[in-house]
A and B are shown apart, each in its own frame.
Chain A
Amino acid sequence: MLTLKGIAWGLPGGEEIIKDVSFTASTGKLVVVTGPNGGGKTSLAKLIAGLETPSAGQILLDGEDITPLDVTARAKRGVGYAFQQPVRFKGLTVRDLLELAAGRPMDEAALCTVLGKVGLCANEYIDRELNASLSGGEIKRIEIASVLARKTKLAIFDEPEAGIDLWSFARLVETFEELRSSAEGTLMIISHQERILAIADEIVVIADGRVRAAGPREEILPTLLGDERAARCPLGKGSAVV
């Protein structure tokens, strides 16, 4: 279970980007964090994964305060993070990355299982370098696979749909549903996609660095969709969800 208590963060010398964020994501649940662009969703994900350090507040994982831990220590505690913009490496192969993620050598069957979850065929990819020869969609799916290869208590996926084609995205949604049903930990997905929102157990809406709404999907989603429809209307009042 992930618990955030009064998390705050801002750029050095700049304005506060995350403001007093508190919520709980229960074990075995799929939590979708959504909200308008620039609202602080990715910053929040980075704070949870340890890529940034909050200026105030506490982050608890299964009751342990992981706030003082760096990114490596949090990863070892079971926090996984799939970057919104995947990183490329000259020289490292897909196999190298997945084996580092898994923390052990993987045979082709194991690699095939992981890559299959993101719609890639292992035979075509395991020896490919993680360089510019891979398309944006391919590298994104491999990034997601690098988290799937890990045993995590909390797996965070930052906009997994970005750059992924319609067919692969459908497969990805199935994978997240499968993960949710078999998960021993918590899944957190940063997303705007209705299809992702539709499989959420809980939804957290972040706007202007604050939690604007949080609760079960059945409760939050109708409000969100209603607000989006209003935003599309020329007479709509904008995207804020209160």
Chain B
Amino acid sequence: MSELNQITENLLRMVSDFDGAFSGAYNIRQDGECAGRKSSANIRLENKTDGPGLVIQVLPGTKGETVYIPACVTHSNVDDLVYNDFFIGEGADVVVVAGCGVHSDGEEEARHNGIHRFFVGRGAHVVYREKHLGTGSGKGARRIDPVTDITLAEDATLEMDTVQLGGVDTTARKTTATLAARAKLIVRERLLTEESQQAESDFTVTLTGEDSGVDLISRSVAKGHSRQVFRSNLRGLARCTGHSECDAILADEGSVLALPGLEACSLDAALIHEAAIGKIAGEQLLKLRTLGLTEQEAEEKIVAGFLK
């Protein structure tokens, strides 16, 4: 790992657990190129042969390891597209960290488009963390368009923790998942948009296996003149449980459109959706003010807690 520029190092510290080095397997992508890679005995990282990106193989039974796949765009006029395929062996229990930072000080757009496919083997457990961030003072748009496609085998579990807390002008986030019997998908999404930023988040989860289940919670804050669109479609094709929840706080002139969808094709599919959009409740502000916080401090605490 010798070719990291300072912007990449800064972005890595903010979007992943980077402290000057990664422990375990990793691949760092910088402006569309590999800037460092290491495999471990149980996690192999290799170039794809049919396009840009990686094949990440986690051997069956691998326990307690973390693999880092961060990507950074450090200047404008970069349009980075990458396909990463994760094959998680049966019974493995691993953490995947895939943060993305986009920096622009120029006039042109800076964009990263990461397409991640997960094939999670029987009984495996994956924690997937992705944190997205935009930095820089350029007028060029900072854009991140992640696509995540998840296939869970029987008894597999994937916990997805996805965060975008600022600086990204436009994002279109698309997540699809197919769950076999007794597979579980847990998604926690947190989104903050400000100024004139735009964010779309689109989830389609198909529950094909008996007793499969999904729990999807999206929390977002739309400030300034920003606009967000949240779509979720839970499809129950068997006896299964599905819960999606979209909570959004509006501030200033922000707007949020929530379009939840439930599609039950089995009598035993139990699907629920909850959505709530609104400004911070006056009583919440008052409660914190009775503890000595100013109105602004109270708002900041409420938003920080909401997106924690």
Q: Report B247-288 CB contacts with A as 1/0, cut-off 8 Å.
A: 100000000000000000000000000000000010110111
Interface residues of B, dominant DSSP = helix
Among the listed B219, B247, B283, which residue makes an inter-chain contact with A87, where contact means beta carbons less than 8 Å apart? B283
In the complex, the answer to whether A72 meets B292 with C-beta atoms within 8 Å is yes
In the complex, the answer to whether A80 meets B307 with C-beta atoms within 8 Å is no
* CB of B64 closer than 8 Å to a CB of A: no
Set of chain B residues within 8 Å of A87, measured between Cβ atoms: 281, 283-284, 286-287
- Separation of A70 and B293 alpha carbons in the complex (Å): 11
Counting chain A CB atoms within 10 Å of each CB, the highest count among B247, B284, B289, B307 belongs to B289
In the complex, the answer to whether A83 meets B287 with C-beta atoms within 8 Å is yes
Interface size class of B (residues with CB under 8 A): 20 to 34
Set of chain A residues within 8 Å of B307, measured between Cβ atoms: 91
Q: Distance (Å) between the CB of A30 and the closest chain B CB?
A: 20
Set of chain B residues within 8 Å of A51, measured between Cβ atoms: 286, 290
* CB of A75 closer than 8 Å to a CB of B: yes
For chain A, residues 65 to 103, give those with C-beta under 8 angstroms from any C-beta of chain B: 70-72, 75-76, 79-81, 83, 86-87, 89-93, 96, 100-101, 103
Partner-binding segment picked from B132-140, B228-236, B294-302: B294-302
Smallest CB gap from A49: residue in B: B290
Q: Distance (Å) between the CB of A199 and the closest chain B CB?
A: 24
Set of chain B residues within 8 Å of A150, measured between Cβ atoms: 291
In the complex, the answer to whether B305 meets A72 with C-beta atoms within 8 Å is no
* CB of A146 closer than 8 Å to a CB of B: yes
- Separation of A146 and B29 alpha carbons in the complex (Å): 47
Among the listed A50, A70, A75, which residue makes an inter-chain contact with B291, where contact means beta carbons less than 8 Å apart? A75
In the complex, the answer to whether B290 meets A75 with C-beta atoms within 8 Å is yes
In the complex, the answer to whether A91 meets B306 with C-beta atoms within 8 Å is yes
In the complex, the answer to whether B247 meets A101 with C-beta atoms within 8 Å is no
Among the listed B247, B286, B308, which residue makes an inter-chain contact with A71, where contact means beta carbons less than 8 Å apart? B286
- Separation of A140 and B22 alpha carbons in the complex (Å): 46
Smallest CB gap from A131: residue in B: B247
Set of chain A residues within 8 Å of B305, measured between Cβ atoms: 89-93, 96
- Separation of A75 and B306 alpha carbons in the complex (Å): 24
Set of chain A residues within 8 Å of B281, measured between Cβ atoms: 87
- Separation of A79 and B292 alpha carbons in the complex (Å): 9
A residues bordering B, Cβ < 8 Å?
49-51, 70-72, 75-76, 79-81, 83, 86-87, 89-93, 96, 100-101, 103, 146, 150
The 10 closest A-B pairs by CB, nearest first: A91-B305, A92-B305, A91-B306, A75-B292, A87-B287, A71-B289, A81-B290, A72-B289, A87-B283, A101-B291
Q: List 24 A-B contacts (CB under 8 A).
A: A49-B290, A50-B290, A70-B289, A71-B286, A72-B289, A72-B292, A72-B293, A72-B294, A72-B295, A75-B289, A75-B291, A75-B292, A79-B290, A86-B287, A87-B287, A89-B305, A90-B305, A91-B219, A91-B302, A91-B307, A91-B308, A96-B305, A103-B291, A103-B292
